[in-house]
Structure 1
Amino acid sequence: MRVTAFATALILAMPNFVLAEQNCGDLTNQTDMNICAGKAYAKSDAELNVLYKQIEARLKDDADTKKLLVSAQKAWIGYRDAECNFSSSTVTGGTVYPFISSTCLDGMTKTRIEDLKGYLKCTEGDMSCPVPSAN
């Protein structure tokens, strides 16, 4: 009991910035900003892949719909990459490029994560959802 109370007190005493996601733009040098943005994107990409695999697993008995998922995801990746290449094109070759590019990729990936989470929350009988409920 004492250990749990101590751990809780220690966590509550930590500064808020430790508990929240770091805002990479608040860092003081470009290298740190670039590294931070790259890590944020890698974290989002890993979450996206977990969700995608969960949807694939739910579609294991529906090859046609699974093919549509794969096609949609490939198209989305192409769009994401093209959009981020375009939006960061004015800084290509500059030291800020990794930050701008990773920030774009992270933002678009987070939006796609929310889309995939929505598919995973479909209820039984929802005809507008291509992913069966978990039951």
Structure 2
Amino acid sequence: MRASFAGLVALLAVAAAIPTSARADDCDNAPGGQAGLNECYGKAFKASDAELNKLYKEIEARLKDNPDSTKLLVTAQRAWVAFRDAECNFQTSAVSGGSAAPMIRSMCLDGRTRARIEDFKTYLSCEEGDLSCPVPAAN
């Protein structure tokens, strides 16, 4: 019993440390036990990923006249996806193979993706003439 309790404490510590917006979607009350939680948090991540892709396309559109910046965006995004995935692999390694592993992984992926969404929103809201912003202001 002690090992199970220690595992639960570790799982809760990992879950609490991972930033996520899925809690706002009320996944903690999802029906269906662990399978329901896994599904709910997976859907939350998919929704965040769809939002990220939409914003990415907006940035690409604004950079259409600047192929060098577009290439830098593609390189940065590929590196970010690799980082996100590797970081979440590390963060969720304590629960690897467990029934909660899909939920914990989705929570991590969602949290990292939500942070990237905020970065993209910042890029898309730059003022005209902001030299520190890599994305031109909307016309």
TM-score range relative to shorter protein? 0.7 to 0.9
Segments of 5+ residues of structure 1 without an aligned counterpart are: 1-19
Query: 2-side partners of 1:22 and 1:53: how far apart?
Result: 25
Which structure 2 residue ranges, 5 or more long, are not aligned? Answer: 1-22
Which residue of 76, 81, 86 corresponds with 2:80?
76
Q: Distance in 2 between matches of 1:58 and 1:22?
A: 31
The equivalent position to 2:43 in structure 1, one of 29, 39, 43, is 39
Give the structure-2-normalised TM-score: 0.80
Structure 1 length-normalised TM: 0.82
Question: Which runs of 4 or more aligned residues in structure 1 lie more than 6 Å from their structure 2 counterparts after TM superposition?
Answer: none
Q: Which residue is 1:8 aligned to?
A: none
Q: Separation in 1 of the partners of 2:60 and 2:110?
A: 22
Paired position in structure 1 for 2:65: 61
Q: What is the aligned-residue RMSD (CA, Å)?
A: 1.3
Q: Which entry has the higher C-alpha Rg, 1 or 2? A: 1
Deviation at 1:23, TM superposition (A): 2.5
User: How does 1:91-130 map onto structure 2 within 5 Å?
Assistant: 91-130=95-134
Aligned mates of 1:129, 1:41 — CA distance in 2:
27
Larger RCO (alpha carbons 8 Å, 6+ apart):
2
Alignment match of 1:22 (pick from 25, 28, 34) = 25
CA distance in 2, matches of 1:112, 1:89: 22
Deviations 1:61-108 (A, max 9, x none): 000000000011011101100000000011111110000000000000
Distance 1:63 1:90 in 2: 42
Q: Which amino acid aligns with 1:37?
A: Y
How much has 1:21 moved relative to structure 2? Answer: 4.1
Paired residue total: 116
Give distance in 1, aligned partners of 2:119 and 2:42. Answer: 22
CA distance in 1, matches of 2:24, 2:111: 14
Q: Give me the identity figure in percent.
A: 59
SS, match of residue 122 in structure 1? coil
